[in-house]
Structure 1
Amino acid sequence: MIPAYRADHVGSLLRPRELLAARWRGVPAEELSAIEDRYVLRLLAQQQMLGLDVFTDGELRRSNFMSNFTDAVEGLDLDGAVSRRWDASKRDSRVPVSNVTGVVVSKLHQRRGLTTNELPFLIQRSPGPFKITLPSATQFPAIAYKRGVSDAAYASHSELLWDIVSIVKAEVAALAQAGVPYIQIDAPRYSYYIDEKWRGWMQSEMGVDPEAALDEAIAADNACLDAGRRDGVTLAIHLCRGNNRSHWYAEGGYDAIAEKLFSSLNADRFLLEYDDERSGSFDPLRFVPHGKFVVLGLVTSKTPTLESVETLRARVDEASRYVPLEHLALSPQCGFASTMEGNILTEEQQWAKLERVVQTARQIWG
């Protein structure tokens, strides 16, 4: 039986100033690890106090949500990163240093496990069920493949994708084997398929057909999800439209991909962004198969404005017209710190939003 985890959250949390300062100073690894341990314990205690149903380490040991991959493999040139400065939110579009992914310059070689520096501490110290997040393999071909450079190692985006799948798939299997109760794949690139601007970019810049690429993306994520299939393990996928420094890069409802996506992805839980009008209506949820959970990302992690319990309850009620209430849960739409610089709100405002998630979930589901 899949746990409900009614009061959920996507994973990343704002970094304390001391930790950010230590990273920027480049303190020795042992000293940095001790600082991380101290603040992870504080985060775990705060999550427990609020009553969240699942715990994370806030991704405090990462520079961004996918750096556990880029830190664990060789073959990426961080100095030659592909420019990704288009920002539909019309704000400052400079990319933080911590968001640099790098360019593939040689065959990828894995040096260590992706979560080697995270998992043991959570196993020992988490006060309850915890989740480990991993970036989708589909995240990298669009942003790390540079024509004239990467094609010396990989003939196509697809060839690179499936090499990355082998790495992520092995990590998911290892996490499941270790007894991790909740494994979440973060997959922002599905937003490309719902936004006409990005569909055009895929055709012109990547030279791929969006529909064929969508089919391949689903197959790639399924290969990774299926590797973790075992009793007691919840497998989830999080879909968003951009979150870096309170920015966003894609818009549109799930309508264009909902039938294929929800019926084909082998996840137990879909964590979906529904915090503003860019996300569209709940109507696409009619394609979610019976028995699967939908985590409604109704609380925004981008701005300090605190949603009311009444508004959240009304929206959950609306969504229950498409997915039974017993198969719904609540969360913020994304993490609070996709990069270590974090979104533009305070830690106090972050905790208030997570407390609101818990308050609302308890009123709805008990």
Structure 2
Amino acid sequence: MSAPTLKLNPPFRAEQIGSLKRPQKLLEKRKEFEAGKCTQEELRVVEDEAIKEVVQVQRETGIKGITDGEFRRHMFYDGVFDNLDGMKHVKPVPMHMLMDYVPDVAAFKEHDFKGADTYVCVSKLKRTKQFYVPQYEALKALTSPEEHKNLKITMAAPEWFHLRHGEYAYPKDVYKNDDEYFADIAVAYQAELQDLYAAGCRNIQIDDPLLAYFCAESMIKGMEERGIDHEALLDTYIKAYNDCLKNRPADMNVGLHLCRGNFRSGMHFSEGGYDRIAIKLFQEINVDCYYLEYDTPRAGTFEPLRFLPPHKAVVLGLISTKFPRLEEVDDLVQRVRNAATIISGGDEKRSFEAALNQICISPQCGFASHSEGNLVDDHAMREKLSLVTRTARAIWGEI
């Protein structure tokens, strides 16, 4: 039996992760809206103007998988659980509902962040309205028809609030166990993907720092101290992913983005290479590609890439969005070639050229996972995106 065909278009040789730096006028208008000082339509006018501008930045820097920069969101994970019937907004969050072993929870408590909010399940979960289709349709309206097939929508991870809240993620008189809980979430994701496809979307990226947390020794140790089977929980999340993606159209590309936190000034929440989860990540989750953080040593080495199957792609996040300093093209080229060498000599041997063909490059994360963004101004963001495409051309001659 021949190996499945590698799906590479999308993603593109030169990718961007999703969130882009928001202009000050948009940030100010959103504050007005949240304070009840302007209407939704007035906010939308400013959003549209800002998105038009950032779409043009992507065009000019050679980025083909165009996004709206997540300009209609406050946080990268907005969209699913704030629109899902059965979820309740909670602010502030009672401290006992936050699991200290989760790296971002531990970091927020350490830095004494006050007034954090969350969503918890209070009744049966049901999708009664679309999550991201309106954002995709709005992006289509601001782009040309020939660009529509390449537009990318980023989505929240299905286990987002579950890991954070542990035993408090849902009432036991609503769901008996995790399988029941995730079964309803899967139904919602399946419906959303079908609606996105019907609207013309062919490129999805699921943002999931939580899977990278399973690489962190701090979380593994904390779970073991609480008597939590982290291996079984990871298996639960993998099953949830595969159920969410069940019956998706064959020509809809789905990628999975892992990072270790990228909050405001680039503060990260966890460290540890992909080694602990590599086999399950690459071989058991039914996605087409992986967007992996690789801009600092905290993500480990390329060695786990030896488990990447020949029919999947990996987008190496080699360029930092945390700081404005530009990386060197020659160094980036060499790192890509190093990764290809490891892939080619992996569990399923292949030629160096075949391995190189499985690789794309990108920044390690978005430029504004939180609406306030990182310590990178508009000029530096444009330079970083241009660096991605220049490096891709140096390696593959295409983007």
TM score, norm. by length of structure 1: 0.91
CA contact (8 A) 2:16 2:366 kept: yes
2 CA distance for matches of 1:148 and 1:166? 18
User: In structure 2, which of residues 63, 75, 88 is the aligned counterpart of residue 76 of structure 1?
Assistant: 88
Q: How does 1:73-222 map to 2 (within 5 A)?
A: 73-74=84-85, 75-81=87-93, 82-83=97-98, 85-87=105-107, 93=111, 95=113, 100-127=117-144, 128=147, 129-144=150-165, 147=168, 150-204=171-225, 208-222=228-242
Counterpart contact for 2:185–2:244, Cα < 8 Å: no
* Pairing of 1:1-366 with structure 2 (within 5 A): 1-3=7-9, 5-26=12-33, 27-74=38-85, 75-81=87-93, 82-83=97-98, 85-87=105-107, 93=111, 95=113, 100-127=117-144, 128=147, 129-144=150-165, 147=168, 150-204=171-225, 208-231=228-251, 233-245=252-264, 246-323=266-343, 324-366=355-397
Moved more, 276-285 or 179-188: 179-188
TM-score (norm 2): 0.84
Tell me the SS of whatever aligns to 2:118: coil
% identical equivalent positions: 37
C-alpha separation in 1, matches of 2:169 and 2:367 = 36
Q: Which is worse superposed, 116-125 or 317-326? A: 116-125
* Counterpart AA for 2:43: L
Mapped to 1, the partners of 2:51 and 2:140 lie a distance apart of 13
Distance apart, 1:156 and its partner CA: 4.2
Query: Contact between 2:205 and 2:254, CA under 8 Å: does it hold in 1?
Result: yes
d(CA) in 2 for partners of 1:212, 1:363:
43
Equivalent pairs counted in the alignment come to: 361
CA 1:109–1:234: 2 relative to 1, 3 Å: closer
Moved more, 16-25 or 151-160: 151-160
- CA positional deviation for 1:261: 1.5
Whether the aligned pair in 1 keeps the contact of 2:275 and 2:304 (CA below 8 Å) is yes
Question: What secondary structure, in the 3-state scheme, does the structure 2 residue paired with 1:226 have?
Answer: coil
Question: Aligned equivalents of 1:79 and 1:146: distance in 2?
Answer: 19
Change (3 A) 1:87 1:52: same
Instruction: Judge conservation of contact 1:145–1:157 (CA < 8 Å) in 2.
Output: no
Q: What is the rounded CA distance, in whole Å, between the counterparts of 2:46 and 2:220 in structure 1?
A: 43
Question: Is the Cα contact below 8 Å between 1:297 and 1:333 reproduced in 2?
Answer: yes
Deviation at 1:299, TM superposition (A): 0.5
Deviations 1:173-219, CA, capped at 9 Å, x for gaps = 222233212111112111222112112333455x5311111111111
Shift of 1:68: 0.9
Aligned partner of 2:3 in structure 1 is none
SS of the residue corresponding to residue 61 of structure 1 reads: coil
Distance between the aligned counterparts of 1:148 and 1:293, measured in 2? 33
Contact 1:7 1:358 in 2 (8 A): yes
8 Å Cα contact 1:251/1:279 also seen in 2? yes
Q: Which moved more, 1:287-296 or 1:180-189?
A: 180-189
Shift in alpha-carbon separation, 1:118–1:19, aligned structure 2, 3 A: same
How big is the alpha-carbon RMSD for the aligned residues of Structure 1 and Structure 2? 2.3
Q: In 2, Cα distance between the equivalents of 1:201 and 1:162?
A: 27
Is the 1:80–1:103 contact (alpha carbons within 8 Å) kept by the matching residues of 2?
A: no
- Which of structures 1 and 2 has the bigger CA Rg? 2
Identify if the C-alpha distance between structure 1 residues 187 and 85 changes in structure 2 by more than 3 Å, giving closer, same or farther: closer
Distance 1:59 1:200, change over 3 A: same
Rate the CA distance shift 1:144–1:342 in 2: closer, same or farther, 3 A: farther
Q: CA deviation at 1:32?
A: 0.6
- How far is the alpha carbon of 1:149 from its aligned partner? 7.2
Secondary structure, counterpart of 2:206 in structure 1: strand
Counterpart AA for 1:17: Q
Q: In structure 1, list runs of 5 or more residues that go unmatched.
A: none
C-alpha separation in 2, matches of 1:149 and 1:293: 35
Secondary structure of 2:133's counterpart equals coil
Whether the aligned pair in 1 keeps the contact of 2:120 and 2:169 (CA below 8 Å) is: no
Secondary structure at 1:238 match in 2: strand
